[in-house]
């Protein structure tokens, strides 16, 4: 369990809680994730992989999310493990890495997010310590490996073939499914269906692998209904919709009322 002041994500997951995270991709303003945090999401994710967030905006958003009372999470671009260390140094509590396909990928990811003996993360968390009020660097070093969450995305047939090995990699905390990419990968590019029977079967295998390894299963969900249903299946880190989805839904609801 996390002992770092101000860090909540690892503590919630270690306690067996289900954590829902808002997802910010299309509107690169720190005000948006801060608002989502203030509405009550326990975590908010900034998507650098497919979203419009640059590094400066991301670092500002991390502080904004914290000011809103939520845990900041960042999905880094493909292979950008140097960015993983940077966002952690600036206060992120979790990092999502896409396309973790094998043990080598998993170890490279852990190397950037965990300090020795688990990884090789370089020292420099001054901003993170400042925004949560940690004054003792030895405390941060001692507790960081269990307080930050390394989230490996499972999106390909290769990842499914290496599922148990990835789940068993020390320092990997969550296996997070990208269901659209997984549907493409498992169908050899013939299908884009995040809710296909093939994906549903793969989800069951991922949940079982996480249970066996003592890790947390996670999933991106297009809406709250899907997230609630998957929480009942034991998936405990669930991304819900997106900033643009929230904006569209809110706008549509207002217009429906106006049109009577």
Is the pLDDT at 1 greater than 70, yes or no? Answer: no
Answer yes or no: are the C-beta atoms of 40 and 68 closer than 8 Å. Answer: no
Q: Could you read off the pLDDT of 87-119 as tens digits, one per residue?
A: 999 999 999 999 999 999 999 999 999 999 999
The answer to whether residue 2 scores a pLDDT higher than 90 is no
Does residue 121 carry a pLDDT above 70? yes
pTM comes to: 0.97
Digit-coded pLDDT (tens) for 125-173: 999 999 999 999 999 999 999 999 999 999 999 999 999 999 999 999 9
Distance, CA of 50 to CA of 53 (rounded, Å): 9
pLDDT digits (tens, 9 = 90+) for 3-23: 799 999 999 999 999 999 999
Please report how many Cα atoms fall inside a 13 Å half-sphere around the Cα of residue 70, on the Cβ side: 28
Q: Let me know if 195 is a catalytic residue.
A: no
Average pLDDT in the 80-89 region? Answer: 98
For 136-146, the pLDDT digits (tens) are: 999 999 999 99
Share of the chain above pLDDT 70, in %: 99
Q: Is the pLDDT of residue 189 over 80?
A: yes
Residue 3's pLDDT is 75
Q: Is 78 left (phi over 0), alpha (psi -120 to 50) or beta?
A: beta
* Active-site residue identified among 39, 50, 124, 137: 50
Q: Tell me which residue of 174, 94, 102, 89 sits closest to 137, measured CA to CA.
A: 89
pLDDT digits (tens, 9 = 90+) for 61-72: 999 999 999 999
Domain boundaries, the chain: 9-253
Confidence at 223, pLDDT banded by 50, 70, 90:
very high
Q: Which of 95, 102, 96, 144 is nearest to 122 (CA)?
A: 144
Assign domain 9-253 to its CATH superfamily. Answer: Phosphoenolpyruvate-binding domains (3.20.20.60)
**By percentage, how much of the chain surpasses pLDDT 90?**
98
Residues in the chain: 260
């Amino acid at each position: 369990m996390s002992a770092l002041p101000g860090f909540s994500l690892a503590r919630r997951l270690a306690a067996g809680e289900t954590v829902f995270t808002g997802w910010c991709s299309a509107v690169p303003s720190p005000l948006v994730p801060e608002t989502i945090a203030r509405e009550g999401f326990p975590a908010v994710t900034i998507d650098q992989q497919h979203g419009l967030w640059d590094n400066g905006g991301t670092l500002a958003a991390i502080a904004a999310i914290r000011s809103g009372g939520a845990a900041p999470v960042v999905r880094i671009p493909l292979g950008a493990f140097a960015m993983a260390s940077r966002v952690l140094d600036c206060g992120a509590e979790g990092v999502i890495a896409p396309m973790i396909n094998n043990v080598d990928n998993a170890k490279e990811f852990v190397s950037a997010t965990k300090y020795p003996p688990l990884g090789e993360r370089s020292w420099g968390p001054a901003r993170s310590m400042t925004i949560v009020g940690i004054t003792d660097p030895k405390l941060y070093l001692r507790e960081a490996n269990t307080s930050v969450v390394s989230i490996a995305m499972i999106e390909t047939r290769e990842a499914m073939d290496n599922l148990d090995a990835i789940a068993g990699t020390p320092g990997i905390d969550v296996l997070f499914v990208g269901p659209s990419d997984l549907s493409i990968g498992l169908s050899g590019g013939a299908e884009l269906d995040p809710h296909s029977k093939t994906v549903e079967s793969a989800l069951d295998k991922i949940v079982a692998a996480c249970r066996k390894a003592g890790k947390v299963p996670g999933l991106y969900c297009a809406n709250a209904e899907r997230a609630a249903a998957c929480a009942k299946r034991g998936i405990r880190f669930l991304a819900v919709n997106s900033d643009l989805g929230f904006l569209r839904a809110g706008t549509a609801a207002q217009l429906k009322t106006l049109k009577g």
